A and B are shown apart, each in its own frame.
Chain A
Amino acid sequence: MIKGLLFLASLGPLAWLALNGYAENLGANPIEVITRTTGTWTLVFLLITLSITPLRKFSGWHWLIRLRRMFGLFAFFYACLHFTTYIWLDQFFDLGDIARDIPKRPFITLGFLSFVLLVPLALTSSSAMIRRLGKGWQQLHRLVYVIAIGGVVHFMWLVKADQRQPLIYGTVLTLLLGYRLLARWYAKRRLGFVSGGTPVPFRGMTEL
């Protein structure tokens, strides 16, 4: 029930774009609005995905874990729209230009790399793949940290002067990653004292 509602809400940004686009209400430069909106929501869904684990820890609402895959896939969904906007509406499938553009522009290089790294995560998101990959799945999906950092820096590098918005995303991401580092450090320290005992991995270590 909650999951269904959140699913619909997650489609909201796309619906907003579609409705306003249809009504020719996206301002003087609609393509820029589409690019910005899909990029912003990719970052938002990445951060939501990363906040599930700390939220669970602090609230004890373990059912939240069931939403994580959906949010992660929405991040991928908006990243696909964002990437499509770039190659279609911005570059018009001029593959030569795109190939020159990607390595030459640091912010595009980073955005592109982050997108490419998202693909294997989306492909291995099914329950069957989780079972099949076992421990390797978690290793693989730690890539999301790199992707989120890449995404935020991609945003910072594209802004001309006003860093306020990128910094908001940067701050939230720092908190979310900082929590994980702290949890890891704390767990290691605790394990250090349990001499001779079987090391019990702290939950925060094995979860994303």
Chain B
Amino acid sequence: MLIKKRSDIKSSEITDRSTYLNRRKFLIDAAGSLVGIAAGISVPRLLDPARDAHAGVKLNGVRKSPLSTDETPNSLKDITTYNNFYEFGTDKYSPAKYAKSLVTRPWTVAVEGEIKHPKVYDIDELIKISPLEERIYRLRCVEGWSMVIPWVGFPLNALINQAQPTSKARYIEFKTLFDPKQMPGQYRGVLEWSYTEGLRMDEAMHPLTILAVGLYGEVLPNQNGAPIRLVVPWKYGFKSIKSIVRIRFVEKQPLTAWMKATPHEYGFYSNVNPEVDHPRWSQARERRIGEFSKRKTLLFNGYADQVAQLYQGMDLKTYF
């Protein structure tokens, strides 16, 4: 049989990752203390200096959210092995293989532009500005597949409120790290680096819009956009920019990486819409990863009740 059936094993029944990691931590600590005794220093941190921030480490105090869907999430394996992250190669299996080269600590995010309180945040400080929440969201890729992903993060509006935008701030521009040594895909000019995305201020303030730092209750794996990424569940996946280093409040609509690459195919809004086809393929249906037959794509990816009012009076075919 060629086609995977939906697994009967629930994600909750698979060996808890923290159990597995505890074993790993025990082994590292044990090895470390042995070497440490010999060398007279504490070695575990030398062996694994950024361990606290590694993918798979449990995040504490994560709250549930009423904004989560009750659909069954995809497996951690599917979510972490099938990724579009061109900074690590254009093949969907490449990010899982090559994203190890990304160093996520230390990491800073510059928050700047038309705001009263510009600041360069250390990542560990940034993730504490608001309590972490689990947000189980649908993700719809512009290529016609979708997943359900249990993100951990906090609303972007918490950061915006701290930054206090001026009256000139109408959009936000986001940028991914540019460092080809860590992100070898950037040696090739597939897109104009660094990857750039943008949101209108009301989209950015919307409670569904989050900055994600985790997945399945654990620190975000590199291939999913560590240490911090945007998640805007009613837009195509490429809007949810990964590994953010700069958040800039601006007056004019930012020019995003995909708009620069093919302006007639990728617009600024890129809201999920079954009625507005990609010039080269239909967006009417999608394949949910793990399912055999395709399902109908929903307007605004099923979040129309919450977000449709943002676009009232706009022709969604013009503002695609």
Contacts and interface: CB of A to CB of B under 8 A. Distances in A.
A162 B190 contact: yes
B261 A161 contact: yes
B86 A26 contact: no
Interface in B284-320: 287, 289-290, 293-294
A100 to B, nearest CB: 8
B190 A30 contact: no
A31 B3 contact: yes
A106 B278 CA distance: 12
A105 B59 CA distance: 45
A126 to B, nearest CB: 31
A28 B190 contact: no
Contacts of A30: 2-4
Nearest to A25: B4
B74 to A, nearest CB: 8
A164 B89 CA distance: 12
A161 B191 contact: yes
Interface of A, helix, strand, loop or mixed by DSSP: helix
A112 interface: no
Contacts of B143: 160
A21 B190 contact: no
Contacts of A34: 2
Given A28-B290, A29-B289, A161-B86, A107 B280 contact: yes
A29 B145 contact: yes
Interface string A153-188: 000011011101000000000000000000000000
Contacts of A66: none
Contacts of B3: 21, 30-31, 89
A27 B93 contact: yes
Given A17-B2, A21-B2, A28 B81 contact: yes
A26 B4 contact: yes
A22 B1 CA distance: 5
B1 A21 contact: yes
A107 B278 CA distance: 12
Contacts of A161: 86, 90, 190-191, 261-262
A76 to B, nearest CB: 21
Contacts of B81: 27-28
Nearest to A161: B190
A106 B281 CA distance: 9
A195 B90 CA distance: 58
Contacts of B202: none
B107 interface: no
Contacts of A64: none
Contacts of B289: 28-29
B173 to A, nearest CB: 20
Contact of B287 (A29, A104, A107, A108): A29
A34 B261 CA distance: 28
Contacts of B281: 105, 107-108
A65 interface: no
Nearest to A160: B143
A27 B86 CA distance: 18
Contact of A104 (B90, B93, B282): B282
B82 interface: yes
Contacts of B90: 160-162
Nearest to B265: A160
Contacts of A17: 2
A160 B191 CA distance: 10
Contact of B82 (A29, A92, A107, A164): A29
Contacts of A92: 293-294
A101 B293 contact: no
B87 to A, nearest CB: 12
Nearest to B281: A105
A74 B3 CA distance: 24
Contacts of B277: 104
A159 to B, nearest CB: 9
Interface in A96-153: 101, 104-108
Interface of B: 1-4, 74, 77-78, 81-82, 86, 90, 92-93, 143, 145, 188, 190-191, 261-262, 277, 280-282, 287, 289-290, 293-294
4 closest A-B pairs by beta carbon, nearest first, are A21-B2, A28-B82, A162-B90, A28-B78
Interface of A: 17-18, 21-22, 24, 26-32, 34, 89-90, 92, 101, 104-108, 157-158, 160-162, 164
16 contacts: A17-B2, A26-B4, A28-B74, A28-B82, A28-B290, A29-B82, A29-B92, A29-B145, A31-B3, A92-B294, A104-B282, A105-B282, A108-B281, A158-B280, A161-B86, A162-B86
Given A21-B1, A161-B261, 11 more contacts: A24-B4, A26-B2, A27-B81, A27-B82, A27-B93, A29-B92, A30-B2, A30-B3, A31-B287, A32-B145, A104-B282
